[in-house]
Amino acid sequence: MHNTALFTYGEGRTMQSPDFEIYHFIDSRPSNIHLHHHDFFELYYLLSGEMNYIVDGQRYVLHPGNLLFIAPDQFHRPDVMSTSDFERFVLWIHPAFMNSALEHLPGLSADLFSGARISNFLCLNESQRKTLEMLLSSLEQESCSSLAYRQTMCHAILIALIIHVKRMMIDLPQADRPSFAAHSPAALHPVTDISGEQLREVFSYIQNHLSEDLSTSALAERFFFNPNTLARRFKKHAGIPIGDYVRKKRLATARLLIYQGMNAVQAGTASGFSDYSTFYRAFRQEYEISPKAFAASCHTQP
């Protein structure tokens, strides 16, 4: 467990604790944080101020009382345009602790917290805000205390917080989101401009088809886009070119599969890499460790 008022915020952060870390910030941040992912769950709750946040291609405008829940393999970055101060809680939850909580608590299912199924964005009502802020503040205070049974109390608060977040997700109305059908016979000509919703369909397609051809030309052909228009809009939205995003997404998926017990060769193939040597070089360049060495480190961690 760890608590601090401020640290050098960036995409390279790793957890030092086996259960959770909670941070409470009051500051202004630059908008140069790159697209990144973590090996843990992240709960991001805004108390004051306003900011943009991108999660797997979806751009959210956060206001006080808004909550983001980010899974380990989801790419995200803040996009802070204002220099004014804003306040937020950032809670990191180790996957091992999350899996243990979901396994030992009747009725809690891991499905709701998987990257493909979770609702990243929650807009809390007044009652939900009070409950969540009370739990986060209690967790922050307890993690800094020297009282007996501190760890047990922290875990109890954390489990209560997980249940509360899951309740909010269950109660979330199922909005009828418009969908862009790439296979529609009505789409006879390349689209000259791309809407935000259409772009989100591209991000979703990449997530669900990592083993297929995800080149700019292939995606443009499937979605009936002009390749140059797609490349330009994608880079503006994500901050990196399509090819770089696909590579990072495949590596993040492979890393998660290895963490979950799959061997390195199988993880590379399942994530869309054509051969192990290509996967090895990309993985080592991205994470500064070989896939097999990372697998070994996962097995030796408590």
The architecture (CATH level 2) of 196-300 comes to Orthogonal Bundle (1.10)
Q: Where do the CATH 1.10.10.60 domains begin and end in the chain?
A: 196-300
Residue reference for tokens 């999350």: 98
Average pLDDT over the chain, rounded to whole?
Answer: 80
Give the CA diameter of the chain. Answer: 69
- Say which residues have a Cβ less than 8 Å from residue 177's Cβ, sequence separation at least 6: 197
pLDDT, tens digit, 9 for 90 and up, residues 51-67: 888 888 788 889 999 99
pTM of the predicted structure, to 2 decimals:
0.73
pLDDT, tens digit, 9 for 90 and up, residues 112-130: 455 444 568 899 999 999 9
Quick one: pLDDT at residue 195? 72
Q: Where do the CATH 2.60.120.280 domains begin and end in the chain?
A: 3-171
Given 2.60.120.280, 3.30.70.1400, 3.30.2130.10, 3.40.630.30, which CATH number is that of 3-171? 2.60.120.280
Query: Which of the residue ranges 13-17, 143-147, 176-180, 234-238 has the most confident prediction, judged by mean pLDDT?
Result: 143-147
Quick one: pLDDT at residue 51? 84
Residue reference for tokens 């009370």: 134
Mean local confidence (pLDDT), 241-254: 92
CA atoms within 13 A on the CB side of 139: 29
CA angle 202, 14, 46 (to 5 degrees): 65
